[in-house]
């Protein structure tokens, strides 16, 4: 139940729900001359736009941007939200396949990030609708944690279309942003909202009024041509069916870290009718792709399969080295028949290092797993500067010896989860010449450390201890073979030493 403070804030949100958009030129450095927010797709003057001017003869280059095209005006059913409103937790959303209402049917959206002379990040977006018959709202929701539609097994055994959101604060993350564009007759409107904790454990979108010169919006009051090079579905937009906006996201978020693309990795684009209430159910929706990595920072992950059920994940970064950053790994889920199941994640031996070891879920060894890794500079740990997703595909299918041509490596690699050999760990890996091995119980084992040419470098026999180590190894790749004296099972681990 709302207390008085919550009720007051809710009334404030409702009173500030609309602010009239103003056309103008966003003062960005790319494209040169700024970006014209004027309700046109083509350049009308010196300022940049989505497409070149009529005839392609106006000066200046058109900036690259992300364009998303949805099913539009077709008898083929589209993904639409069957349950979900503006302030609802996205985890309560439901979706279905049907034809959207014509005034909320989305065909094309686009967006890109640029900056101004003060290094403020600007987000510039556009979107459309099938029909101008009636008022509607198009929203761009920028999320700091992944969210997507899924099919979930119901208690009755059927698949139910739901949404999954990893936002920790009521399905979102404090600081998530909505840009809301209104198609509403003679004037377009633009509104901005920030996900806020309004009382302990209670969250909602609160209206944010941008400062003058930090936000622009416009829509087409006349029919406009669509440049052929943009590859839209139709050659023109009737009046009242195209809108665009530009906003200084640095000021809107209160100084969010740069690059913005790595602060808001997911975009949920939604439409709803505008009947005078913010509580209308959504209709059409689509997801923007995860933003490309910033040109300033790079992050990539190498995958080395260690055995049937485990892999070594090693992140590489630029600029600098891994010692300059903090790392966070987050499980997204396993892909089952092209549907993400967030309950199946596998495990990492450490979620806060650059090179964790991943082990699959014992009950699901043969499915692809998806993880997300993010980095932040150690001198600014609250600012995520790069992120990427890692798809770990079918480690169980690597069922051959690592090096079958050598006499010491004839044994097939055997699953760690079939017996009491479960839970053997080697660390650090990669390491700098010291290898430590942790054993799970007192089952005696023979252990061999082997070079890739088949030579046994060191051997331990009848080992029962939980921790052994080998020092002063030269740089290279080694194999550690662990043999159970109880049942003869063999586990082979690949070890990387980088001095």
pLDDT in tens, 274-327: 987 778 899 999 887 655 434 578 888 998 887 777 888 999 998 899 999 999
Res. 404: pLDDT tops 50: no
Res. 191: pLDDT tops 50: yes
Which of the given ranges, 89-98, 387-396, 420-429, has the highest pLDDT on average? Answer: 89-98
Res. 261: pLDDT tops 80: no
Distance CA 94, CA 161 (A): 6
So what's the pLDDT on residue 26?
A: 94
Distance CA 297, CA 269 (A): 27
pLDDT range class, residue 250, cuts 50, 70, 90: confident
Res. 396: pLDDT tops 70: no
Average pLDDT over residues 99-114: 88
**Secondary structure of residue 322 in the 3-state scheme:** helix
Average pLDDT over residues 353-370: 87
Report which of residues 241 and 55 the model is more confident about.
241
Q: Are the C-beta atoms of residues 32 and 48 closer than 8 Å to each other?
A: yes
Tell me, letter by letter, the H, E, C secondary structure of 406-444: CHHHCCCCCCCCCCCCCCCEEECCCECCCEEEECCCCCC
Average pLDDT over residues 151-156: 73
In terms of Cα–Cα distance, which of 49, 29, 26, 65 is closest to 190? Answer: 26
Distance CA 37, CA 25 (A): 6
Res. 20: pLDDT tops 50: no
Name the DSSP class of 88.
Answer: S
pTM: predicted TM-score of the whole model, two decimal places: 0.61
| β-bridge pairing 147-153 and 136-143 | unpaired
Q: Is the CATH code 2.40.50.140 the one for domain 298-397?
A: no
Average pLDDT over residues 142-159: 78
Cis peptide before 428 (omega within 30 of 0): yes
So what's the pLDDT on residue 15?
A: 30
So what's the pLDDT on residue 76?
A: 64
Spatial strand order of the sheet with 325-336 comes to: 339-341, 325-336, 369-377, 384-392
Distance CA 85, CA 229 (A): 36
Q: Are the C-beta atoms of residues 460 and 447 closer than 8 Å to each other?
A: yes
Of the candidate CATH numbers 3.40.190.10, 3.30.460.80, 2.40.30.10, 2.60.40.10, the domain formed by 407-497 belongs to 2.60.40.10
Residue with token string 């505008």: 274
9: tokens are 């804030």
Distance CA 246, CA 113 (A): 10
Q: Do domains 298-397 and 407-497 have the same CATH topology?
A: yes
Maximum pairwise Cα distance, the chain = 84
Provide the percentage of residues in the chain whose pLDDT is more than 70: 75
pLDDT, tens digit, for every residue of 66-87?
888 887 766 667 889 999 999 9
Distance CA 317, CA 319 (A): 6
pLDDT, tens digit, for every residue of 459-488?
888 876 655 566 677 777 777 788 888 777
Task: Report how many helices (DSSP H) and strands (DSSP E) the chain contains, helices first.
Answer: 2, 34
Q: Are the C-beta atoms of residues 475 and 497 closer than 8 Å to each other?
A: yes
Distance CA 6, CA 125 (A): 32
Per domain, the residue ranges of the chain are 4-288, 298-397, 407-497
So what's the pLDDT on residue 348?
A: 93
Distance CA 128, CA 123 (A): 17
Q: Are the C-beta atoms of residues 112 and 251 closer than 8 Å to each other?
A: no
The residues, any chain, with a CB within 8 Å of residue 295's CB and separated by 6 or more, are: none
Distance CA 94, CA 96 (A): 7
The residues, any chain, with a CB within 8 Å of residue 320's CB and separated by 6 or more, are: none
Q: Are the C-beta atoms of residues 30 and 114 closer than 8 Å to each other?
A: yes
Distance CA 294, CA 318 (A): 11
So what's the pLDDT on residue 256?
A: 63
Strand partners, 218: 244
The rounded Cα 339 to chain-centroid distance in angstroms is 16
128: tokens are 């459309």
So what's the pLDDT on residue 337?
A: 67
Classify residue 75 as exposed, middle or buried by CB count within 10 Å of its CB (0-12, 13-18, 19+): exposed
Beta strands (DSSP E) in 440-498 are 445-451, 456-463, 467-470, 476-484, 490-497
Average pLDDT, the chain: 77
Q: What are phi and psi of 217, to 5 degrees?
A: -155, 150
pLDDT, tens digit, for every residue of 126-135?
999 988 888 9
Other Cβ atoms within 10 Å of 48 Cβ, number: 25
Res. 427: pLDDT tops 60: yes
């Amino acid at each position: 139940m709302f207390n008085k403070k919550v009720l007051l804030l809710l009334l404030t949100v409702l009173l500030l729900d609309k602010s009239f958009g103003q056309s103008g030129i966003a003062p960005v450095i790319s494209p040169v001359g700024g970006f014209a927010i004027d309700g046109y797709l083509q350049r009308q003057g010196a300022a940049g736009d989505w497409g070149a001017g009529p005839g392609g003869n106006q000066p200046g280059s058109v900036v690259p941007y992300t364009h998303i095209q949805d099913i539009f005006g077709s008898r083929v059913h589209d993904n639409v939200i069957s349950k979900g409103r503006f302030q609802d937790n996205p985890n309560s959303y439901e979706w279905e396949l049907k034809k959207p209402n014509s005034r909320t049917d989305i065909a094309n959206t686009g967006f890109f990030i640029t900056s101004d002379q003060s290094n403020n990040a600007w987000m510039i977006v556009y979107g459309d609708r099938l029909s101008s018959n009636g008022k509607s709202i198009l929203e761009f929701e920028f999320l700091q944690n992944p969210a997507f539609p899924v099919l979930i097994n119901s208690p009755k055994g059927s698949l139910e279309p739901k949404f999954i959101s990893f936002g920790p604060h009521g399905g979102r993350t404090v600081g998530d942003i909505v840009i809301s564009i209104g198609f509403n007759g003679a004037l377009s409107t633009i509104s901005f909202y920030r996900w806020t904790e309004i009382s302990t454990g209670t969250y909602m979108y609160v209206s944010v009024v941008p400062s003058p010169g930090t936000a622009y919006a416009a829509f087409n009051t006349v029919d406009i041509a669509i440049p052929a090079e943009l590859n839209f579905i139709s050659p023109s937009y009737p009046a009242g069916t195209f809108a665009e906006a530009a906003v200084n996201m640095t000021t809107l978020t209160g100084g969010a870290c740069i690059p913005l693309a790595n602060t808001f990795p997911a975009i949920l684009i939604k439409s709803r009718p505008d009947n005078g209430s913010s509580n209308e159910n959504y209709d059409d929706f689509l997801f923007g792709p995860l933003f490309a990595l910033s040109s300033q920072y790079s992050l990539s992950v190498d995958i080395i399969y260690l055995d049937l059920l485990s892999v070594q994940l090693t992140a590489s970064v630029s600029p600098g080295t891994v010692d300059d950053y903090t790392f966070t790994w987050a499980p997204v889920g396993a892909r089952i028949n092209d549907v993400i199941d967030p309950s199946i994640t596998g495990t990492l031996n450490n979620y806060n290092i650059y090179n964790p070891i991943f082990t699959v879920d014992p009950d699901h060894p043969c499915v692809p797993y998806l993880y997300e890794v993010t980095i932040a500079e150690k001198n600014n740990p609250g600012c995520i500067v790069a992120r990427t997703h890692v798809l770990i595909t079918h480690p169980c299918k690597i069922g051959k010896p690592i090096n079958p041509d050598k006499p010491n490596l004839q044994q097939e690699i055997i699953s760690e989860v079939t017996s009491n050999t479960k839970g053997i760990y080697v660390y650090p890996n990669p390491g700098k010449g010291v290898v430590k091995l942790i054993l799970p119980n007192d089952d005696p084992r023979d252990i061999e450390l082997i070079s890739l040419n088949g030579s046994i470098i060191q051997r331990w026999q009848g080992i029962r201890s939980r921790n052994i180590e080998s020092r002063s190894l030269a740089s290279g790749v080694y194999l550690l073979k662990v043999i159970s004296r109880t049942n003869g099972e063999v586990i082979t681990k690949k070890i990387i030493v980088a001095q």
